[in-house]
């Protein structure tokens, strides 16, 4: 039975979105700081956090122009640039699918190390499959599958709590090793040189840039969180974004600074590899496996939704999918009017200013049949999810590192859904605020335009770094 949207509380939304943003990027954050130097690295983290927060705000603002419970990149694309709606969903699907594959690859890399530490030498010699990455990937795809078939992120909130506890363990492990060093201890790997105020080189600082951008990317699940919220007011959605990005910022600063000051420029891209084998380190590696395993559904969910939108857009009957059109008589309507007429929904919603409830949708001729045509049915959910599981398993089974291909996909996908699209949507829709143009709409347009330009610059930089400087290796 389809789960009812719009019933999740703010706390559940915070947990799910925080689980999305705090993931495997923790492993490479100290390495990224080392490439920029301590204070330049901190500044890059702060800039990335602020830009990510701006993107989330733009998406929350743009969601006010959609039917409640049906906000998506696809629907907003239909309201702004319909011809490219399928393209945007394709970018989201490829990006999230690539991250899903990388999670399985991380499992395949770490589980043989964990098995080697947990099981005796005799057991490993007798059961060689325990050291096989393909065995562990196969096992975990069956463990992950039940969660991947969940329809909503709200239903994954318990898994998200476990994943966040696992991430916290990693942060604590890195911080305690730093405290041990400050107290006069030493690490197995000697500490390299530390650059406080200047980067080792300008190119090295550029090479760390994509890592910071990817670290704060959670925008692919923002609309799912919005749709599941009982309180969809912009003030509540903004509060969720502030809490999530603020918490992620603290975590990234803590692990980035502690890890870098522990190892200096000797640090590698996966910090857990720097520590000597011990029960604590093995637990840390296992915590990472748990974290990425439970993060898989957070990537498969938007992948599934985007694939469904693309399929319905391409193969759906033209009389079922109705493209919204502007009311030619006015750019806005009375704020006391319903979002959709009673003949379509059977209910009305109060309309007020941006800070409290839904902005009146200026596309008043939108038909509810569009939503019905694009709804993910139980059959579609089962088929698309199965395909995602099989394809990601196949990729991870045969590829030990996705290399530059995934880096390029991540650069384009992350920048598109974090900066470019949110900024563009808010820029276009700001003119449709009742009573616009006014100071409020002009401020939103200016900020959204700046975010879009920033996204284009970041995309170009990330692609350049990935192609020519080998970022992430």
Highest mean pLDDT among 111-120, 203-212, 353-362, 428-437: 111-120
Question: What pLDDT is recorded for position 138?
Answer: 93
Question: What pLDDT is recorded for position 405?
Answer: 52
pLDDT bucket at 407, cuts 50 / 70 / 90: low
Question: What pLDDT is recorded for position 395?
Answer: 86
- Asked if residue 242 has pLDDT above 90, the reply is yes
Distance set, CA 26 to CA 158, 167, 256, 288, 371 (Å): 21, 8, 8, 9, 38
Q: What is the mean pLDDT of the chain?
A: 77
Phi/psi for 8 (5° steps) reads -75, 145
- Asked if residue 199 has pLDDT above 80, the reply is yes
Distance set, CA 380 to CA 135, 303, 386 (Å): 29, 13, 10
66-106 pLDDT tens trace: 888 778 887 888 788 877 777 778 878 887 887 888 888 88
Q: Residue 190 corresponds to which tokens in the numbers above? A: 């000697």
Highest mean pLDDT among 107-116, 306-315, 331-340: 107-116
Question: What pLDDT is recorded for position 318?
Answer: 40
Q: Residue 349 corresponds to which tokens in the numbers above? A: 């919603």
CA distance 120 to 96: 38
Question: Would you call the peptide bond into 167 cis, given omega within 30 degrees of 0 as the criterion?
Answer: no
Contact between 112 and 133 under an 8 Å Cβ cutoff? The reply is yes
- Asked if residue 55 has pLDDT above 60, the reply is yes
């Amino acid at each position: 039975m389809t789960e009812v949207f719009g019933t999740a509380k703010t706390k559940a939304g915070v947990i799910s979105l925080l689980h999305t943003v705090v993931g495997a990027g923790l492993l490479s954050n100290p390495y990224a700081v080392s490439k920029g130097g301590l204070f330049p690295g901190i500044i890059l983290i702060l800039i990335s956090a602020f830009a990510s927060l701006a993107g989330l705000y733009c998406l929350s603002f743009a969601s006010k122009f959609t039917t409640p419970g049906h906000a998506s990149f696809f629907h907003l694309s239909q309201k702004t640039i319909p011809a490219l709606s399928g393209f945007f969903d394709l970018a989201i699907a490829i990006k999230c699918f690539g991250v899903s594959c990388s999670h399985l690859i991380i499992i395949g890399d770490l589980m043989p190390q964990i098995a080697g530490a947990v099981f005796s030498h005799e057991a490993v010699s007798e059961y060689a499959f325990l050291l096989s990455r393909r065995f562990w990937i196969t096992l975990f795809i069956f463990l992950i599958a039940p969660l991947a078939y969940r329809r909503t992120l709200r239903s994954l909130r318990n898994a998200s709590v476990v994943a966040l506890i696992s991430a916290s363990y990693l942060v604590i492990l890195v911080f305690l090793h730093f405290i041990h060093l400050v107290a006069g201890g030493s690490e197995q790997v000697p500490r390299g040189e530390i650059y406080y105020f200047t980067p080792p080189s300008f190119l090295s600082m550029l090479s760390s840039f994509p890592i910071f951008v990817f670290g704060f990317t959670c925008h692919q699940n923002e609309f799912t969180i919005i749709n599941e919220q009982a309180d969809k007011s912009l003030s509540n959605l903004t509060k969720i974004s502030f809490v999530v990005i603020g918490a992620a910022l603290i975590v990234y600063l803590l692990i980035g600074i502690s890890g870098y000051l522990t190892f200096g420029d000797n640090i590698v891209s996966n910090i857990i590899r720097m520590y000597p084998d011990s029960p604590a380190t093995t637990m840390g590696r296992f915590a990472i496996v748990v974290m990425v395993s439970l993060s898989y559904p957070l990537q498969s969910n938007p992948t599934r939704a985007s694939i469904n939108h693309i399929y319905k857009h391409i193969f759906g009957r033209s009389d079922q999918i109705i493209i919204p059109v502007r009311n030619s008589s006015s750019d806005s309507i009375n704020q006391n009017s319903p979002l959709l007429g009673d003949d379509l929904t059977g209910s009305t919603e109060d309309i007020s200013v941006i800070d409290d409830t839904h902005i009146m949708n200026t596309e008043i001729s939108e038909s509810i049949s569009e939503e019905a045509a694009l709804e993910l049915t139980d059959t579609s959910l089962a088929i698309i999810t199965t395909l995602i599981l099989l394809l990601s398993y196949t990729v991870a089974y045969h590829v030990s590192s996705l290399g530059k291909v995934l880096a390029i996909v991540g650069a384009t996908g992350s920048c598109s859904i974090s900066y470019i699209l949110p900024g563009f949507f808010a820029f276009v829709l700001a003119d449709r605020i009742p009573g616009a143009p006014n100071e409020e709409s002009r401020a939103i347009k200016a900020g959204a335009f700046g975010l879009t330009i920033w996204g284009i610059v970041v995309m170009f930089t990330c692609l350049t770094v990935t192609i020519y400087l080998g970022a992430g290796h």
